[in-house]
């Protein structure tokens, strides 16, 4: 259990940045506002600049790996990139205009999100609230998700304005991560400040996206136990051959946006050589069958050019799907770095010193 001092330091580090809060008047639990008052309300900054209605590939990868969600959202929803808001904490967003919700999912390296949920409800991270004014709890509950995990949630109202007594409603929830030992904190509210927030849409999309956990089949002990032969590791020469083939497969699927192509042409015209995109790269993890297990954006300078470059690389890697002749290594996952040079990608093993 985290100490009170640790929790206060955590709250400070999380900051307060999240888009548009719900404007409601009266005390109805999710009904239509009855009186559109002009008030001096709390303002919130924008959470994400991801393209509306389109799943962000980086956010999708985080959702798959850490929340156990499906790769794509259903119609009317989209994954949003929220790393600028929560950095260095991993996160992703799920937005919907039709269901009027924006939900932020933050990955914790322990069970804080599930064990300390009431503390987060008191003053939710990435939310501007009036200091010293208590929330009013509207509802709470516990859901059994399709994964079999339990998710607790709390719906509360917070003052939007000190003048007229207007409030906004927000839900916090916590459930175990798909990665053992981690947990996911959810912070959700209305997408459109002028429309009422229905927290049931949040519960619906989480249970819709989350996958059922594979059932473990316990094998009966054999009378005669045999030692498993040690697996033969792939040689460095064969790893080099794999990287060549993987780079070719990724380049076949690589489609660079105009902004990146213009930057490449401008650099080559000025310097006489291809631009090495040193400020952005992608770390890819695959299993022994070549199937994608992890994607990590290693962008050091988040310019719009770098962001579009790494998105293009993510989409190209995902398009390959399964890499041929995957290396056999000591761990269950082989990782390599994808780096853009000019209009093509170059690959290296994660532990290699340079390209």
Does 183 share its domain with 279? no
Does 42 share its domain with 128? yes
* Tokens 């032969």, residue located: 229
Name which of 212, 213, 187, 192 is nearest 202 in CA terms. Answer: 187
Query: 210 near 67, Cβ under 8 Å?
Result: yes
Strands, sheet with 292-297, edge to edge from the N-terminal-most edge strand? 292-297, 282-286, 334-341, 344-349
Q: Tell me, what's the pLDDT at 26? A: 26
Does 127 share its domain with 243? no
Q: Tell me, what's the pLDDT at 8? A: 37
Does 149 share its domain with 247? no
Does 172 share its domain with 247? no
Does 37 share its domain with 153? yes
Does 69 share its domain with 157? yes
Dist. CA 49–CA 45, nearest whole Å? 11
Instruction: Read off the pTM.
Output: 0.52
Model confidence pLDDT, tens digit, residues 285-329: 888 888 877 777 888 888 889 988 988 898 888 888 789 999 999
E strands, 74-227, where?
A: 78-80, 91-96, 101-108, 136-144, 150-159, 167-176, 183-189
**Is residue 131 assigned to a domain?**
yes
Does 149 share its domain with 55? yes
Does 284 share its domain with 150? no
* Tokens 């690959």, residue located: 347
Domain enclosing residue 271, as ranges? 236-349
Dist. CA 208–CA 130, nearest whole Å? 34
Query: 183 near 176, Cβ under 8 Å?
Result: yes
**Is residue 223 assigned to a domain?**
no
Does 44 share its domain with 153? yes
Sign of CA dihedral 198, 107, 300, 253: negative
**Is residue 94 assigned to a domain?**
yes
- Distance (Å) of CA 141 to CA 117, 153, 192, 277: 12, 5, 25, 48
- Tell me which residues of the chain have a pLDDT lower than 50: 1-39, 217-223
**Per the structure block, which two tokens stand in for 51?**
């393209």
Query: 55 near 47, Cβ under 8 Å?
Result: no
Does 162 share its domain with 34? yes
Does 24 share its domain with 154? yes
Q: Tell me, what's the pLDDT at 214? A: 62
Q: Tell me, what's the pLDDT at 199? A: 92
Number of domains in the chain: 2
Specify the CATH number for the domain of residue 306: 3.30.1150
């Amino acid at each position: 259990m985290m100490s009170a001092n640790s929790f206060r330091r955590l709250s400070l580090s999380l900051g307060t940045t999240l888009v548009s809060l719900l404007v409601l008047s009266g005390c109805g639990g999710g009904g239509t506002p009855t009186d559109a008052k002009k008030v001096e309300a709390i303002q919130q900054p924008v959470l994400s600049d991801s393209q509306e209605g389109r799943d962000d590939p980086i956010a999708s990868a985080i959702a798959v790996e850490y929340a156990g969600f499906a790769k794509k959202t259903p119609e009317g929803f989209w994954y949003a990139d929220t790393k600028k808001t929560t950095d260095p904490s991993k996160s992703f967003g799920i937005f919907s205009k039709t269901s009027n919700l924006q939900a932020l999912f933050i990955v914790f390296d322990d069970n804080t999100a599930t064990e300390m949920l009431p503390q987060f409800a008191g003053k939710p991270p990435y939310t501007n609230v009036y200091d010293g004014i208590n929330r009013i709890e509207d509802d709470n509950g516990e859901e059994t998700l399709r994964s079999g995990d339990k998710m607790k949630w709390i719906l509360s109202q917070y003052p939007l304005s000190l003048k007229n007594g207007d409030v906004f409603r927000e839900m916090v929830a916590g459930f175990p991560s798909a990665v053992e030992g981690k947990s996911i904190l959810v912070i959700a509210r209305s997408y459109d400040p002028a429309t009422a927030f229905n927290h049931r849409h949040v519960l619906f999309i989480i249970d819709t996206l989350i996958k059922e956990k594979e059932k473990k089949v316990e094998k009966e002990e054999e009378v005669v136990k045999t030692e498993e032969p040690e697996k033969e590791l792939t040689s460095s020469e064969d790893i080099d051959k794999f990287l060549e083939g993987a780079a070719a497969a990724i380049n076949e699927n690589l489609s660079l946006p105009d902004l990146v192509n213009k930057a490449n042409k401008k650099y080559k015209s000025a310097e006489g050589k291809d631009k090495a995109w040193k400020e952005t790269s992608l770390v890819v993890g695959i299993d022994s069958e070549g199937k994608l297990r992890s994607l990590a954006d290693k962008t050091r300078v988040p310019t719009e050019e770098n962001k579009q470059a790494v998105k293009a690389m993510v989409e190209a890697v995902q398009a390959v799907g399964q890499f041929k002749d995957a290396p056999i290594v000591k761990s269950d996952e082989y990782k390599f770095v994808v780096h853009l040079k000019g209009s093509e990608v170059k690959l290296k093993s994660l532990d290699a010193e340079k390209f």
